[in-house]
């Protein structure tokens, strides 16, 4: 199923008048404050977030999974789903594949399909946290960190194979989430694990094409519950430094201990030129993988505030790879992603409204009250008309969720695919 701009324009009609009123009101107000509104809208329109292929079906927990209807059963169908998202939101212009779940059979056809949907292949993801049927070695006791040379070799080669697949699709970066760790004190040797992981990453890094980047995730726990080899940003950064200039730390919002100040980590990494990518989601307890902005929208804004600061002031840091990494257990996955994309755009818009010069002055004057006012003034502004305007400027839906429902996309997908398909990898 593909949505056309005409379809969307037709649906947009009924809301345009309201939008004009909202937008003009806000425009007036922001211009009066000296905000460069056009620049904000351009940045919003340019902001593209990759959709991971595994987020297009219903997710679950260790206690089970309630499946959704009309899930994509093939890579092509996954691309179609992202195509729908991108047509509606104009901010989902990339897809992030996961190997071995998404190995193409016909590369040219896959590239062509993505192209026709306006989608790029963003960072590609390897998987060494599960055993594949018929694999020579098990990852039960580690993959890139494994003491057993066979398992480690297999994990390294898998990553190289992933790079090769990505290369043929036009991707230019590899994301490594290493689930390796332990459930019990003493189970493995911390130092040996770290050294072996470093060696494995260096081997992978050495084999990367010259124009590729390596993103290294960190996570304090789950699926291991005593220790994780790459438990925090400090470890990830250490490993990235040991690899080289094109290795970076990747921050996933859910991969932190309770109460971690994530925005400070972002600021530090950008200062060091070592923030490579970002996985968006939201959570209250652990790596809950909920809809972006559904639980802690102010934290998301504060993180974007540092990202915007870094994008302006840290030329040493590369362009970032943005991705949503969420699990859709009780919502239509596509609706969930639409809500996530909206929340991201809103937080970004709010952060773009922060008057950084004035903030710097208030900071210098130790005017703590004023500093807070500046951030909260931006945050309390209803920026949705700006996000809508950016979307309209690219031919997207005024209100993507409304359009999605109006166009009965899910029903259409069920008609096309049947009720009981299961997304590969789920």
Residue 156: how many CA atoms within 13 Å on its side-chain side?
A: 21
Least separation in angstroms between residue 35's CB and a second copy is: 15
Q: How many residues bind a second copy (CB under 8 A)?
A: 107
In the list 336, 388, 391, 392, the residue contacting a second copy (rule: CB under 8 A) is: 336
Residue whose CB is less far from a second copy, 117 or 232: 232
Positions in 67-86 near a second copy (CB under 8 A): none
Least separation in angstroms between residue 62's CB and a second copy is: 5
In the list 180, 217, 306, 325, the residue contacting a second copy (rule: CB under 8 A) is: 306
Q: According to the binding rule CB under 8 A, does residue 138 interact with a second copy?
A: yes
Which range touches a second copy (CB under 8 A), out of 97-105, 111-119, 306-314, 412-420?
A: 306-314
Neighbours of 149 (CB within 10 A): 10
Apex CA 267: angle with CA 264 and CA 272, to 5°?
A: 130
Q: According to the binding rule CB under 8 A, does residue 221 interact with a second copy?
A: yes
Provide the phi-psi class of 121: left if phi over 0, else alpha when psi is between -120 and 50, else beta: beta
Closest among 152, 256, 136, 131 to 204, alpha carbons compared: 152
Which range touches a second copy (CB under 8 A), out of 97-105, 180-188, 209-217, 411-419?
A: 180-188
In the list 22, 164, 199, 412, the residue contacting a second copy (rule: CB under 8 A) is: 22
Burial of 65 (0-12, 13-18, 19+ CB in 10 A): middle
In the list 290, 392, 397, 409, the residue contacting a second copy (rule: CB under 8 A) is: 290
Q: How far apart are CA 35 and CA 358, in angstroms?
A: 12
Q: According to the binding rule CB under 8 A, does residue 183 interact with a second copy?
A: yes
Neighbours of 96 (CB within 10 A): 30
Positions in 147-176 near a second copy (CB under 8 A): 147-148
Which range touches a second copy (CB under 8 A), out of 3-11, 42-50, 204-212, 326-334?
A: 326-334
Positions in 189-218 near a second copy (CB under 8 A): 189-191, 194-195
Terminal CA-to-CA distance of the chain, rounded, Å? 22
Residue whose CB is less far from a second copy, 309 or 348: 309
Q: According to the binding rule CB under 8 A, does residue 311 interact with a second copy?
A: no
Least separation in angstroms between residue 226's CB and a second copy is: 6
């Amino acid at each position: 199923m593909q949505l056309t701009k005409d379809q969307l324009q037709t649906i947009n009609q009924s809301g345009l008048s309201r939008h004009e009123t909202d937008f003009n009101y806000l425009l007036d107000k922001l211009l009066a404050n000296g905000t460069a509104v056009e620049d904000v809208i351009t940045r919003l329109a340019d902001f593209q977030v990759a959709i991971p292929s595994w987020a297009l079906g219903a997710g679950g927990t260790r206690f089970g999974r309630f499946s959704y209807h009309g899930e994509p059963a093939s890579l092509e169908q996954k691309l179609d789903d992202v195509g729908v998202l991108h047509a509606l939101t104009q901010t989902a212009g990339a897809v992030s594949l996961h190997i071995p779940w998404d190995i193409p059979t016909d590369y040219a056809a896959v590239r062509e399909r993505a192209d026709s949907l306006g989608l790029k292949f963003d960072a590609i993801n390897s998987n060494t946290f599960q055993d594949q049927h018929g694999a020579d070695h098990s990852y039960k006791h580690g993959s890139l960190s494994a003491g057993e040379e066979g398992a480690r070799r297999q994990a390294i080669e898998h990553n190289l194979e992933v790079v090769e697949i990505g290369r043929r699709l036009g991707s230019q970066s590899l994301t490594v989430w290493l689930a390796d760790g332990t459930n019990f004190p003493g189970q493995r040797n911390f130092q040996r694990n770290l050294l072996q992981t470093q060696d494995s990453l260096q081997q992978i890094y050495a084999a990367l094409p010259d124009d590729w980047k390596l993103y290294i995730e960190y996570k304090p726990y789950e699926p291991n519950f005593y220790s994780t080899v790459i438990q925090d940003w400090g470890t990830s950064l250490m490993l990235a430094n040991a690899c080289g200039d094109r290795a970076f730390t990747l921050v996933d919002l859910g991969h932190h201990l309770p109460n971690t100040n994530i925005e400070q980590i972002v600021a530090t990494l950008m200062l060091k030129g070592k923030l490579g990518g970002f996985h968006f989601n939201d959570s209250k307890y652990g790596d809950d993988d909920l809809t972006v902005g559904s639980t802690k929208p102010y934290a998301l804004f504060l993180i974007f505030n540092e990202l915007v600061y870094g994008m302006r002031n840290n030329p040493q840091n590369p362009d970032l790879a943005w991705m949503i990494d969420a699990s859709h257990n009780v919502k239509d996955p596509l609706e969930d992603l639409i809500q996530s994309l909206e929340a991201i755009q809103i937080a970004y818009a709010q952060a773009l409204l922060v008057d950084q010069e004035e903030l710097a002055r208030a900071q210098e004057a130790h005017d703590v009250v004023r500093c807070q006012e500046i951030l909260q003034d931006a945050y309390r502004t209803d920026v949705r008309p700006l996000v809508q305007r950016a979307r309209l400027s690219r031919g997207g839906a005024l209100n993507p969720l409304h359009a999605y429902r109006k166009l009965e996309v899910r029903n259409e997908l069920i008609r096309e695919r049947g009720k009981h398909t299961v997304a590969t990898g789920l």
